[in-house]
Structure 1
Amino acid sequence: MRQLVLKVHSRCNLACDHCYVYRHADQRWRERPRLIAPDTVAQVARRLGEHLARHRLDRVRVVLHGGEPLLAGPAVLDRTVHTLRAALPPGALLDVGVQTNGVLLDEEFLALCHRHDIDVGVSLDGDQAANDRHRRYPDGRGSFADVAAALRLLARPEHRSRWAGLLCTIDLANDPLRVYESLLAFAPPRLDLLLPHGNWTTPPPRRRPGGAETPYGDWLVAVFDRWYSTTPRRTGIRLFESLIALVLGGRSGTRALGFAEPDIMTIETDGTIEGTDTLKTTDDASMRTGLDVFRHSFDEALRHPSLAGRPTGPEALAAECRACPVLSACGGGLYAHRFRAGAGFAHPSVYCPDLYRLIRHVQRVVATDVDALRRRALSTRQRR
């Protein structure tokens, strides 16, 4: 286990209608404490320390999450990071991040982030019209103005070192290039473009399960072409950088592509141990482990099928995936997107045609540039 998602607050101050925590099958958030208790944090810290010592790991990442983690308040976050770091073996490093909707981000929280070297990821779906289509307050007001103010604060020279980047969920109703340019206006160091969560039983918006159309692939290709053709590039985009790396024989930096081993564990506010949070979008059972930090070690949890004990690699994929020419880059797509009720996860991604469209396009673009580089190198050698 190399990354721990720690839920420090189980509620949110926004009511986004595309949220994977509150708007999908798993509704157990209703039963959990709003705020993580100090003794739960202390037990998580003990489990984390013993795990690093047992496996001789010198580094681990913890992402403070929710709900909305900033609702926990600066004092709780300060105590949480102190407790986690104090429990690590000598010499081990703790990287800390927080993923927030941004509306509570202010100078006090940023001072805490500087004190503990906490990286800040913020969610934003584009300009005001695009973002406020989904990311709204419970009374229906849009959140864009408040998030934009937080991003301007985060982008100041004295705070920019703490900014990890923006997370944007794709909506086909939003023009891809307008979304991309509106996000670039905040000069983010990195973008994460996420496909909206869905599966074969509960398909994403405008994604007909089994249909050959590629609306999400077309959306992503438009952004890729603008991003790739701009020199120097104005930001990193994890999905595209990972895909280029995979096409060239490297490794993915995202679990949405390739054959990344599942190394993420989620701890809820009551100490329950679960796997990757995106499984909440499948059914109310896929996340259940029956394990918690008070009775079980992280090693025990890693043997559970919903964590690292689940099947991985090509042999875990559907037959059509194993026969696909883009398998090495796709890897079957995000695990949660393969789900079909009553039949598990041994299916292609519900986004299969979209992923194929994007991957083939990137392969052609990269191959063209690689060939041009080879010809240029050959011409240079011949002139010498």
Structure 2
Amino acid sequence: MSRQVTPRAAPFRQFIVKVHGRCNLACRYCYLYEGPDHTWRTRPAAAGPKVLDQTATRIAEHAARHTLTDLSLVLHGGEPLLAGAARLAAFAERVRERVPRGCVVHTTVQTNATLLDDRRLAMLARHGVTVGVSLDGGRAAHNTLRVDHAGRPSWPAAVRGARLLAERYPDAYAGILTVVDPASDPVETYESLLTLRPPALDLLLPHGNWTAPPPGLPGRGTSYGDWLCTVFDRWWSAGRRETRIRLFEECLALLLGLPAATESLGTEPFTAVVVETDGSIEQVDSLKSAYEGAARTGLDIFRHSFDQALNHPGVAARQTGIAALSAQCQACPLVAVCGGGHYAHRYRAGHGFTNPSVYCTDLQRFIRHVASRLRESAALTSGGATR
């Protein structure tokens, strides 16, 4: 029987399932396979039938216990398509069949796009699985570090897959995930991605922390913040109709006092959980960029429910809101928007995660810039209304 969950615990709403724990690429900057955590080496390459079956049962159990009306199922890896599109589709159907009536399951597979072809895309689309693509930009030059295990470039296969998705299966296209590279031209990178016609973009800061900082940090400049500001201005000037950019939309919502949920901004409870290929219940992978075992909970889907995972100290810390932040963050006037930044980016060896983000100055630069543009727009609107 599950231990009682604290009243403050928000139920999980995003279930990230590692259907395959290996990748057909060997990206040279990958925090998962090249970082400090090596637990992937001791786990099965793929989630077996028993793991997937029990995971579906646990998700349904959690949805019923918390009367969820919708949830997000993310099929992840490694490269999840190595498990086969048919297996991904069958698992998505199994979860849908087991959740309570009235609970909508939004299923997405996150892929490097190199294995996308018409047969696989048709299978996924037929079973309501949308496809998110991970790329460093929309041109070959942006993706030089994304190579296979023989050192060959992944771009030719990836761009074929992304274009096939956009042209033949637009309703199944979830969008593109891109990690910010301040050495790249921001507008050129953004516009190159637009040529792949993504309905949405996720712009992510590279995983790093105070002990293992990202390139160029910590320092006096705000190269990451400047990069985001430049793309924001380009996106804003187009009327935001070209594509959705979640980071920008969430920042705007938070500045307007609206609730917003993103891992990088805001103080809303974090409600994502991971199931590894062996059935282990873990916190999100980004924590693995901090140290070996940082994502570990000691729980698994055969012996434990997701409610028990809600009681894990690491999960609870991410649901406490402002009270869990450092004193410096709590005193900051931007805290309601910034939320302390991405949890993994706060880590410092010997001090844990109760620190400002290693991107603190960059986030301040970006948030203040967006606030300024929002004020300018409001002033123009107000002025036009009074004339």
Q: TM-score range by the shorter chain?
A: over 0.9
Q: How does 1:293-332 map to 2 (within 5 A)?
A: 293-308=301-316, 310=318, 312-332=320-340
1:9 partner letter: H
Moved more, 173-182 or 5-14: 173-182
CA deviation string 1:194-225 (max 9, x = no partner): 110000000001112xx331010111111111
- Quick check: 1:282 aligned with 2:293? no
Q: How does 1:11-160 map to 2 (within 5 A)?
A: 11-156=22-167, 158-160=168-170
Aligned counterpart, 1:233? 241
> CA 1:85 to 1:231, structure 2 compared with 1: closer, same or farther past 3 Å?
closer
Residue identity (%):
50
1:248 partner letter: L
- 2:273 aligned to 265, 269, 279, which one? 265
- Quick check: 1:346 aligned with 2:354? yes
Do the aligned partners of 2:207 and 2:345 also contact (CA within 8 Å) in 1? yes
Do the aligned partners of 1:246 and 1:328 also contact (CA within 8 Å) in 2? yes
SS at match of 1:289: strand
Deviation of 1:110 (Å) = 1.1
SS at match of 1:164: strand
- Quick check: 1:213 aligned with 2:221? yes
CA deviation string 1:304-339 (max 9, x = no partner): 022245452111111111121211111110000000
Aligned counterpart, 2:200? 190
Aligned counterpart, 2:345? 337
Gaps in structure 1 of 5+ consecutive residues? 380-384
Deviation of 1:122 (Å) = 0.1
Deviation of 1:249 (Å) = 1.1
CA deviation string 1:13-72 (max 9, x = no partner): 000122221121211000111111111111111111111111111222110000000000
Deviation of 1:260 (Å) = 2.5
1:172 partner letter: P
Moved more, 184-193 or 265-274: 184-193
CA distance in 2, matches of 1:262, 1:272: 19
1:121 partner letter: G
Cα RMSD, aligned residues only: 1.4
SS at match of 2:366: helix
Q: How many residue pairs get matched?
A: 376
CA deviation string 1:273-325 (max 9, x = no partner): 01122111111132111100000011001110222454521111111111212
Do the aligned partners of 1:130 and 1:179 also contact (CA within 8 Å) in 2? no
- Quick check: 1:367 aligned with 2:375? yes
CA deviation string 1:51-95 (max 9, x = no partner): 111111122211000000000012321332232222222332221
- Quick check: 1:165 aligned with 2:175? yes
Aligned counterpart, 1:180? 190
Do the aligned partners of 2:269 and 2:319 also contact (CA within 8 Å) in 1? no
Aligned counterpart, 1:382? none
Do the aligned partners of 2:264 and 2:341 also contact (CA within 8 Å) in 1? yes
Do the aligned partners of 1:334 and 1:349 also contact (CA within 8 Å) in 2? yes
Aligned counterpart, 1:256? 264
